[in-house]
Amino acid sequence: MYEKPKDLWKVTDVNKYQLHVTISSIDSTIKSENVDERVVYKEDLEKRRQAYGICGECKEPGTGYRWCQPCNSKRFKDFLNEIKSHLQIYLDDIVRCYGITQDPNNKEYMMVLLYCEDGNLRNYLNESNDYINYKSKIDKLQQIARGLLDIHNAEKVHKDFHSGNILFSYHPFISDLGMCQPVNIKQTVKEERIYGVLPYMSPEVLRGYQYTKAADIYSFGIIMNEFLSEEIPFNDIPHDEFLAIKICKGLRPTISNDIPKLLADLIIKCWDAEIENRPTIKELYQILKEWYYNNNQNSEIYSQIKKYDKTREEKFKTRSNEDKFESIKIHPQAIYTSRLLSFKNLPEPVNSSDLSSFQVNSDDVPSVSETLISECFDCKI
């Protein structure tokens, strides 16, 4: 049984302890009466690491933070880049980075982040003792979309967007900006090795092509379906090259038949094989926000969520916590942590013509039409 971790944070004197890491506009090595001792400058971190540590790979002393230059200095640069991303995207829907700390024994630096007591999205669903209705889920989804909008507005892409990186406290936060990078970084050649969690990765990324904002939208669609259906994507099959091939051929996770049609249609738009058919994050946020604040009882979304809430709530009441955990069966080769992947000769991405590859409820109700989306675009953020 999952045990919730204890909150070990203590209230500290912010006038005494380090505030944050920043990027200096002047030479931070120059001593000045105006230097704030609570601030560590990014440039100084690189200098400090040269004096400490034993390489975790070759075990040579005094060569770096944990990995020496010949072995893997990129790891330390990634750490600095993640700090930089937090400084550039310091907003309410991104998990807050309060600063850094250093292990006194091995001298490794670590980030100090907001403690999210409800864990990630999967923990949040598993640990809930109350039924989470569609209205609440739409609210959470529009908050997640708002966080991704913050990232995209900063002209960055997340690149590792999956349910494990959606953390919950009093509301959802996007975490793990380690892969986050500017949109305008171009790949000069097609990459053979990629990084991420396979079920959440778009087909064009699996094929090694440029990671774009549209790839984050694909991942959002998978997360959206997981949150609404409360089912783990591709949990019963190996996450291998055969799955990558099937995704490129149009395979997608099952959409539960008790998900409202409008929401199901929006999910399908997000994971369209053609990137130009996917909505932007601004469009997604506006649609979800519109639906959340829509209290018109005659509206299509209102009637749909009311109908399907009744069905899901009855299922929730008849299922015990033990049944919930027993029903989640993970294939031993289904891997939900980010890792390096390498696929070759994957087919061109297409949408599946076989609708059995993902199930959509067949109620005779309107789908997300272009008219509805255009109306939602008129909303102001």
Taking 80 as the threshold, does the pLDDT of residue 58 lie above it?
Answer: no
Please give the span between the terminal C-alpha atoms of the chain, in angstroms, as a whole number. 41
Q: Are strands 172-174 and 166-168 parallel, antiparallel or unpaired?
A: antiparallel
Q: What is the pLDDT of residue 295?
A: 84
Which amino acid appears at position 312 of this protein? R
Distance of alpha carbon 278 from the chain centroid: 17
* C-alpha angle 283-308-280 in degrees, rounded to nearest 5: 10
DSSP E strands in 74-136: the ranges are 97-102, 109-113
Which residues have C-beta within 8 Å of that of residue 128, sequence separation ≥ 6? none
* Residue 68 DSSP class: -
Of the ranges 69-73, 82-86, 109-113, the best mean pLDDT one: 109-113
pLDDT greater than 50 at residue 50:
no
Statement: residue 135 has pLDDT above 60: yes
Q: What pLDDT, on the 0 to 100 scale, is given for residue 48?
A: 43
Q: What is the pLDDT of residue 181?
A: 72
Phi, psi values for residue 193, rounded to 5°: -110, 130
* Contacting residues for 78 by C-beta, under 8 A, at least 6 apart: 178
Model pLDDT, residue 215: 96
| Residue 356 to residues 241, 254, 347, Cα–Cα distance (Å) | 21, 9, 20
Q: How far apart are CA 82 and CA 44, in angstroms?
A: 16
pLDDT for the residue 7: 57
Pairwise pLDDT comparison (51 vs 204), residue with the higher score: 204
**Per-residue pLDDT, 79:** 73
pLDDT grade, residue 97 (50/70/90)? confident
Using CA atoms, how far residue 60 sits from 57, 108, 110, in Å, is 8, 15, 22
Tell the burial category of 270 from Cβ atoms under 10 Å away from its Cβ (0-12, 13-18, 19+). buried
Query: For residue 300, is pLDDT > 80?
Result: yes
Read off the pLDDT band of 360 (50, 70, 90). Answer: very low
Whole-number CA gyration radius for the chain: 23
Cα distance between residue 55 and residue 142, in whole Å: 43
Higher-confidence residue of 191 and 226: namely 226
| pLDDT more than 70, % of the chain | 65
**pLDDT for the residue 81:** 72
How far, in Å, CA of 195 to CA of 111, rounded? Answer: 21
Q: What is the mean pLDDT of residues 157-178?
A: 89
pLDDT (tens digit per residue) in 223-271: 999 999 999 999 999 999 999 999 999 999 999 998 999 999 999 999 9
Taking residues 61-84, what's their average pLDDT?
Answer: 59
- Per-residue burial over 89-102, b = 16 or more CB atoms within 10 Å of its CB, e = otherwise: beeebbbbbbbbeb
What mean pLDDT value characterizes the chain?
Answer: 76
pLDDT value of position 112: 80
For range 286-298, the mean pLDDT:
92
Number of residues in the chain: 381
Count of alpha carbons within 13 angstroms of residue 352, beta-carbon side: 19
Confidence at 115, pLDDT banded by 50, 70, 90: confident
361 has pLDDT over 50: no
With 90 as the cut, is the pLDDT of residue 316 above it?
no
DSSP state of 106: T
pLDDT over 60 at 38, yes or no:
no
pLDDT at 153 over 80: yes
Higher pLDDT, 34 or 221: 221
pLDDT at 108: 77
